[in-house]
Amino acid sequence: MLAARYATGVTGALQHVDDHSGARCVHCGAQAAGPCASCHEPVCGDCSTLTEGGARVWAICLECDRRKGRNLSGAWRGLLLWLAAILVGLAVVTWILGRLVG
């Protein structure tokens, strides 16, 4: 009964899409393929690039690619700098406590 209800709705045929429907690319004005993963603006396939690395591949617009880059090397560098700062801070506190106690 349930299969009969859905069998009539799916035809498998291609449908014509009107040029005036849907979102337009913010860069060139063509029909957008989807949103940028970074700024969420609609972009077409020609105005987007794929990200590198990670578990999933995302498409970002060319402007975000120029501004932020496609990889996570900057984020990893920032994380390592924070960890180094914490370790240096702990070493200084340990040294000060050792001088006060000893």
- 32 contact partners, CB below 8 Å, separation of at least 6: 22, 23, 24, 25, 42, 43, 44
φ/ψ (deg, to 5) at 41: -85, 145
Task: Give, for 89, the enclosing helix (H) or strand (E).
Answer: helix 73-101
Does 30 score more than 60 pLDDT? yes
Q: Rounded to two decimals, what is the model's pTM?
A: 0.45
The angle subtended at Cα 44 by Cα 42 and Cα 50, nearest 5°, is 95
Residue 71, pLDDT score: 64
Mean pLDDT across 48-60 = 76
Q: Is 17 left (phi over 0), alpha (psi -120 to 50) or beta?
A: beta
Mean pLDDT across 36-47 = 87
